[in-house]
Amino acid sequence: MRPTCVDKVFELAERDPRVAYIGSDLDPPLVKRMKQEMPGRAFMEGVSEQHIVGMSAGLAMEGFIPYVHTIATFITRRCYEQVAVDLCLHNLPVRLIGNGGGLVYAPLGPTHLAIEDIAIMRALPNMTVVSVCDADEMKRFMDQTLDWPGPIYIRLAKGFDPIVSRPELGFTIGKAIVMREAIGRDRVLLVSTGVATTRALDAATTLAAEGIECTVMHMHTVKPLDIEALLHHAGFARLIVTIEEHTLVGGLGSAVVDALIEHLPGAMPPVKRLGIPDVFAHKYGSQDQLMELYGLQPPAIAQTVRDGLQRRRAA
């Protein structure tokens, strides 16, 4: 997904003279490629996130579409005021590409884990927040970034994640994709974003074998949230489970619950939110290991659904 995203920026730059690229201090082959493929429109500006976001705002004010690229924690936390004021207040078409959203940098520890990036980005007016599930979907998404008004935060996963998206389902920013639709009554609705969708699909397969039908809604765009699709499917659900590789504070689960409270007063189905608890990670290892630790792997998702249904029956 990461190389695909960068490849797409170069491809878009070839098509559109407005496209510019700004990195902080990324790898040497990229610098070489910039000079060859985007001469005069690509910049590696050093470890200066506040500056590069401000600079991207200036370029956007002059009519360019800058793609700003660095590690997710640094492009969200370090320069939050620049993102809020320079990009969102001016509503400029800058695209922030965050490497390693979620638990990708597990071995590097909490300074590098972007576990609240979605929450803090979605709190800003005018910001769009997108977390695709694989490299193929990244391609479809990136084509749409050229003419999207206003800033976008693009959360990148680890790279080389299994391909689960399907071209026939299309891609539109702000429109959820139903990756698997349950039939009949008494359905379970799984709502996920990013690579959590891959885990949700696996869990749904397991549960189907047990006779529990799940709809899997891939909410690649967390903001603006596709409330229409959510409400449509929530109306059929006896249980909703949200799954995200992100803190439970303010992410996808919060957005979903906010929308349901607002729009289905008194008729809201039971909801269970799966995500990272309100802690800094205290272990290292791999992304998969930390996802397991926080109950975000398919077996834990499936068990959450079983428990949720059992509680419902008991009630």
Partner 1 sequence: MANDVAGTGRLAPHTRLDKRSVALRRLVVRALDGGGRGHVGSSLSLIEIMRVLYDDILRYRADQPDWEDRDRCILSKGHGCIAQYVMLAEKGFFPHDVLDTFCRRDSILGGHPEAGKIPGVEASTGALGHGLPIGVGRAMGLRMKGSDARVFVITGDGEINEGSVWEAALSAAKHRLSNLTVMIDYNKIQSAGPTAEILDLEPLADKWRAFRFGVAEVDGHDIDALRHVLTNLPVEADKPTAIICHTVKGKGLSFAENDPGWHHKSSIKKEVITEMYDALEML
Binding site for partner 1 (CB under 8 A): 20, 40-41, 43, 45-46, 48, 50-64, 66, 81-82, 85-86, 89-90
* Min separation Cβ 42 and partner 1, Å: 11
Residue 79 or 241 having the CB closest to partner 1:
79
What is the strand order of the sheet 214-218 is part of? 177-180, 214-218, 187-192, 237-247, 271-276
3-state secondary structure at position 59? helix
* Min separation Cβ 39 and partner 1, Å: 11
Main-chain phi, psi angles of 180, to 5 degrees: -155, 130
Residue 65 or 196 having the CB closest to partner 1:
65
CA atoms within 13 A on the CB side of 268: 15
The whole-angstrom separation of Cα 72 and Cα 5 is 14
Residue 6 or 94 having the CB closest to partner 1:
94
Residue 89 or 261 having the CB closest to partner 1:
89
* Min separation Cβ 41 and partner 1, Å: 7
Residue 40 or 277 having the CB closest to partner 1:
40
Main-chain phi, psi angles of 87, to 5 degrees: -95, -55
Of 160, 165, 77, 86, the closest CA to residue 121 belongs to 77
* Min separation Cβ 127 and partner 1, Å: 16
The whole-angstrom separation of Cα 167 and Cα 74 is 32
Residue 73 or 247 having the CB closest to partner 1:
73
* Min separation Cβ 69 and partner 1, Å: 15
Cβ density class 91-106: b for 16+ within 10 Å, e for less: ebbbbbbbbbbbbbbb
How is residue 36 written in tokens? 């060859």
* Min separation Cβ 17 and partner 1, Å: 9
